[in-house]
Amino acid sequence: MKNKFRLMILTSLFSILVGGFSSTVQDTWAHESRLYNIGNKDYWITVGSIGEPVYVDDKSGAEAFIRTADPSNPLDRNANGTKMIEGLEKDLKFEVSAGDKKKIFEIEPAFDDPGHYEAFFYPTIETTYNYRLFGTINNVTVNFDFQCQTTEGEGNQDNSTKQISEGVVQKAQRGGFGCITSRTEVSFPEPYVSNNELVGMLNQTKVNSTSN
Amino acid sequence: MPFKIKSLFVVTTLVFLIIIIPLFYLPEITTVKGHAIPDSYTLEPNSLHEKSESFPSSISILFSERPEPKISHIHVTNSEGERMDNNDFKITGENDRRGTVTVDKNRIRDGIYSISWSTLSLDDGHVAKGTYVVGVGVGSSLPAGTVPKTVTDNNIVYSPAMAIVKIPIVVGEVYVLGFVFSQLFIWKDIPKQELRNIIHSLLRRRFTNSIIVISIVMAIAATLIPVFQSTTISETQSDYFKNLVLLYFETTNGIAWLIRIISCFIIAFAAYYYGRAVTNESNGFIYARSRNKGTILLFILLTGASIFIGTNSFTSHSSSIASWSQLGNIADFAHSIVVSIWIGGLMYILYVLLPNVITISNNISGKMQQIIAQPKSILILILSRFSVVSTICVGVVGITGLFLAWLHIQNMDELLLSDYGRTLIVKLSLILPVVILGGYHQFWISRKLKVLDFERVNNVNDSSNTNSIQRFSSLKTSLKIECILALGVLCVASFLTVTNPPTASQNNEIVQLNPNDDMSSAVQDELVRTLETQGIHISLVISPFVTGFNNFTVNILGNTESIGQFSNSSIEFRKSDLSLGPIFANLAKNNETSYSVNGGYLSQPGVWDIKVTVKRPNSYDLNYRTSFTVNKSGESMHDQHHVDSPEVVDDDNRNQTSSLTPLVIGLSIVVTILSTYFCINALKRLRTIQQNLGLNSHQE
């Protein structure tokens, strides 16, 4: 009886620990955060896709959360001393690329969420997306590349320092964000056919009817 | 008239009946096995034992073929490389396919143990070896850093060196048989025995010398085979010599080697004595006694060459087929004999006849009608005879080749993706121009026949032998090209003999397939599946295809120049019941179009969904999805008990097999019709030539 009680306590503790760890991983997972020193000031820039997990043809886009780091604890992006930066929508843009296609999107400040910027688009194909955030922060030209990850995991955990460009130094990196995936696995009851696939099928039908 | 159309029909029909018709009545092939590789284990790969007491006192492996007990072994070694077995490997039953070794249990401690096996198949003489790992007292998983990267490793030993050694054997047997056959039959019915004797005498030098040299080369090559085999199976130098002696004198391989050596000696001595028998003994003529002796010696040569070919055919891949092995061997033997008559005959014309045609013409002028005594007439006559033989040969080679391909390759996937299939494609690609050149020579003969007919009717006498021969320079060139291509075919055939057929590397257990896949094949120890997206095909290979540690390989198919570059590849695993996953694996790059990873991702039996992603710079990713059912290793062992039972045919296997059967039968019928058509034309042409030249078999 005593053993059973001990086992129950241990199982509960284990579940709580695993659960807590899992939620942390999930939190880390959704976006990629990097600590930059831009013009002698530390910034946490977090980038990912809007509304993850994102499926093909969903309304989504690229989003960025920009805040200054806590001077007392710069490596913790959630420390109390961080401060969200507003008004960067005029200075920054997103260039989204997939395959050999590229498109520049204006960013807009999210409603009632200071320091949060969004660039909406509809992803039409399942592939690797690159988000290039470029413009000026703290009067320094910046150019940051973020790429979605097709494989999950613990994401990036990097505290090494590297010079990115003049006046810009990367000091840390955390997590990653997932790529846009097909709706195939989550469509029900009929399999989902994406708009792009439909276009392909129509083109094929056109080719077949022409050749006949 | 030596060739009768009616007889030809009878022969063709008989060949058709013997080779093609049985296909209609063959029960579907249920099990096709290859080299002696493990079908099942009593101690499973990757298995873990909590205590050393639970470690078995003996370990046995059920192999797909009968291992040679004197050469084959199972070794159990600990992590320090010390042997834990009692070195008492023996065959313990199950049609002599189960090998067992006992273990010194007193020495078993906690740790990792490697079980390595090596076999020499009694069925086809091929060597195979592999290793797998088990753990004792290491809890639920093997200790980090102690598990080898490749936990299970079943390697069919593919040796290009062995293929190179086999080239003189394959080329030699074709050379000898083709030469002897041509010497025996192609001059038949030349009027007057005296003239035939002169011709044989003139051809003697090149004929006998080349056969003697080739037979010596064949004997050396046959002797080298066990040397290479011993290198493969031996771990130490002392083992090497011990195994070499065993291979030569105490195994079935040794018997095959002995037969080959004896055959080579018979060939060499018969060729030597034949040379002596047909030597001019007085004024270019030979005695009647020597003539009969010469014919007998030629038949001895023919028998020796056929026995040599038989040793190859009866230890071929067909030997390892569980069903229809004998029919496969016979087809292989017929294929080799007929190829030898065809290609060897071609070599005979090029190497023996053409250089001597003027000499022959000079020697027989005055002894025959003037028109036949001309070099061009002799050439056209012999080429016409050979074209009749070659058209029959092409037909038989086509039919037997298709049948053998059908035996070893059961679907298009195997043809396109396996090494054996690809080598076969190379062989067929070389055969095609050979056949086309053969067709060209048929038209060449017809054209020359018209010229000859015109000269005969108009009584034109082109007495200049040199001018006549100059006209044949183009023929000589095209014959040379044909011979070189044919030699290329034989070289590729040598590689084919040491390449494991796809059916041989599989254990025939077809697992549940995804019906949405266009092309897919799955077998118990390896899954090969072709997937397509955006018009780009990849093959996914999972080996072994059971739960545990597996090698996952992604090969991008097609021309990389048109597809573009690839940066990396990854696989996402997910149990269909969502009880496990997603599990992600990044694949390491093997080369520009191949990625692989080893790991225990398929940890549980059941249906798994897999997504393969191949990334390309500046292009969209390629995302492939597929599903399959994976079984436990133990289940595969259970299933293997049914391997030899025809009643447990898997429906998918049946469908896949039957899908190729109509194609093979259809192609065989086409080959038969074409071969018969061209043969009839060749016969008609030969009849016309013989009439024009005033030849008939009754002149003598």
Return the HEC string of B492-561. Answer: HHHHHHHCCCCCCCCCCCCCCCCCCCCEEEECCCCEEEEEEECCEEEEEEEECCCCEEEEEEEEECCCHH
Residue of A nearest to B568 (CA): A150
Q: List CB contacts of A37: < 8 A, sequence separation 6 or more.
A: A43, A168, A169, A171
If you search the block for the tokens 């026949």, which residue do you land on? B449
- What's at B31, amino acid-wise? T
Q: Determine phi and psi for B562, rounding to 5 degrees.
A: -85, -30
Tens-digit pLDDT profile for residues B252-295: 677 888 888 898 999 998 888 888 877 654 444 555 455 677 77
The closest of A122, A127, A78 to A100, measured between CA atoms, is A127
Q: Does B618 touch chain A (CB under 8 A)?
A: yes
Q: Which of B572, B620, B625 sits opposite A127 (nearest CB)?
A: B620
Q: Does A200 touch chain B (CB under 8 A)?
A: no
List chain A residues with CB under 8 Å of B621: 99, 126-128, 150, 179
List chain B residues with CB under 8 Å of A178: none
Residue of A nearest to B613 (CA): A150
- For residue B545, with 0-12 CB atoms within 10 Å meaning exposed, 13-18 middle and 19 or more buried, which class applies? buried
pTM of the model: 0.51
CA distance B626 to B630: 13
Domain ranges of chain B: 1-30+357-506+642-700, 38-156, 160-315, 519-630
DSSP states of A3-70: HHHHHHHHHHHHHHHHHHHHHHHHHHHSSEEEEEEESS-EEEEEEEETTSS-BTTSSEEEEEEEEEPP
Q: pLDDT averaged over chain B?
A: 72
Strands B48-49 and B127-136: parallel
CA distance A15 to A21: 10
Confidence bin at A48 (pLDDT 50/70/90): very high
Q: Which domains does chain A have, with CATH numbers?
A: 30-205 (2.60.40.3340)
Residue of A nearest to B535 (CA): A200
Mean pLDDT of A183-201: 84
Q: What is the pLDDT of residue B29?
A: 36
Q: Does A25 touch chain B (CB under 8 A)?
A: no
Considering only CA atoms, give the Rg of chain A: 22
Structure tokens at B638: 């259970």
Common-topology check for domains B38-156 and B519-630: yes
- Does position B21 have pLDDT exceeding 90, yes or no? no
Given an 8 Å threshold on Cβ–Cβ distance, is B570 in contact with A151?
A: yes
Tens-digit pLDDT profile for residues B494-548: 888 777 666 544 433 323 333 333 333 334 467 888 888 887 888 898 887 876 6
Mean pLDDT of B448-476: 63
Given an 8 Å threshold on Cβ–Cβ distance, is A151 in contact with B625?
A: no
Continuous H helices in B409-464: 412-417, 419-457
Mean pLDDT of B36-46: 69
List chain A residues with CB under 8 Å of B624: none
Nearest CA distance, A99 vs chain B (angstrom): 4
- Report the helix count and the strand count for chain B, using DSSP H and E: 18, 18
Q: Which of B232-241, B429-438, B638-647 has the lowest mean pLDDT?
A: B638-647
Q: pLDDT averaged over chain A?
A: 82
List chain A residues with CB under 8 Å of B609: 185
Residue of A nearest to B612 (CA): A150
Given an 8 Å threshold on Cβ–Cβ distance, is A152 in contact with B582?
A: yes
Q: List CB contacts of B225: < 8 A, sequence separation 6 or more.
A: B162, B165, B166, B253, B257
List chain B residues with CB under 8 Å of A99: 616, 618-621
Q: Which of B9-23, B386-400, B539-553, B643-657 has the lowest mean pLDDT?
A: B643-657
Strands B594-602 and B583-591: antiparallel
- Does position B27 have pLDDT exceeding 60, yes or no? no
Q: Does A124 touch chain B (CB under 8 A)?
A: no
Q: What is the dihedral of CA B158, B161, B162, B164, to 10 degrees?
A: 120
Given an 8 Å threshold on Cβ–Cβ distance, is A150 in contact with B570?
A: yes
Q: Does A184 touch chain B (CB under 8 A)?
A: yes
Between vectors from CA B523 to CA B639 and to CA B56, what angle results, nearest 5°?
A: 45
List chain A residues with CB under 8 Å of B616: 99
- Does position B191 have pLDDT exceeding 80, yes or no? no
Mean pLDDT of B156-166: 68
List chain A residues with CB under 8 Å of B572: 150-151
For domain B38-156, the CATH architecture is Sandwich (2.60)
If you search the block for the tokens 């031996």, which residue do you land on? B234
Given an 8 Å threshold on Cβ–Cβ distance, is B615 in contact with A128?
A: yes
If you search the block for the tokens 């942390």, which residue do you land on? A24
**Among the CATH numbers 3.40.50.1970, 1.10.260.40, 2.60.40.1930, 3.10.20.440, which is that of B519-630?**
2.60.40.1930
- Does position B312 have pLDDT exceeding 60, yes or no? yes
CA distance B621 to B613: 7
